Chains A and B, each alone.
Chain A
């Protein structure tokens, strides 16, 4: 266990559904991230939160809406997704001190399929 827990592990949704992905970290970190991993592209950074504030939005479509209520929890709200959004969504955390030597701790991911 990495100390980063993601739920659900698998999710199948239709294009008109609304669902949320949840991430919780028990490491006392202050930075949390959403990454997307698909077969055709490398790990893509989506969002970064540092001390609950969003510090990075990597040109992500508005059908993905992140929420970070506190430093331990991160959500990704999904609505009107497209089939090409099917991918593994990985949450990660780091100390969040802005130092160059921060390493990421990843959760096990949510495998999302959009039908």
Chain B
């Protein structure tokens, strides 16, 4: 089936800096979900985007859905050590979720 591609695969960030991770699809998405998995943990739901051009914020995290609904981004400002983990986007069709490969974020103190 169609997948979602995430870039970069790895992100090394200096504490305090900003970074963005991207999720791209070749087909139009009905919605996109984002999850975070801490090292040794399990994926935890962060947010869902449904509308074209939608922007949602959670403290230092900003999620955006592209106008064409084919891509999404997660921007983190002032990165902290608590941001360490792997961030996954997932496309939904009914109650079936297909995950991207994830962006693994490492924070340098």
Q: Which residues of A approach B to under 8 Å, CB–CB?
A: 2, 31, 42-43, 45, 48, 50, 56, 90, 94-109
Contact = CB atoms under 8 A, between A and B. Distances in A.
Interface of B: 30-31, 33, 35, 41-45, 48, 50, 88, 90, 92-102
Nearest to B98: A45
Nearest to B101: A42
A102 B41 CA distance: 21
Given A43-B102, A106-B42, 12 more contacts: A2-B44, A42-B102, A43-B88, A43-B90, A43-B99, A45-B96, A45-B98, A48-B95, A50-B95, A90-B43, A100-B50, A108-B42
A108 B45 contact: no
User: Which applies to chain B's interface (DSSP): helix, strand, loop or mixed?
Assistant: strand
Contacts of B88: 42-43
Contacts of B101: 42
Q: Which of A43, A95, A101 has the most CB of B within 10 A?
A: A43
Contacts of A56: 96
Nearest to B6: A42
A21 B42 CA distance: 16
Contact of B31 (A48, A97, A101, A105): A101
B92 A43 contact: no
Contacts of A90: 42-43
13 contacts: A2-B42, A31-B95, A42-B100, A45-B96, A45-B98, A96-B95, A100-B92, A100-B94, A101-B50, A103-B45, A103-B48, A104-B45, A106-B42
A107 B50 CA distance: 25
Instruction: Give the residue among B48, B94, B101 with the most A Cβ atoms within 10 A.
Output: B94
A106 B37 CA distance: 10
Contacts of A43: 43, 88, 90, 99, 102
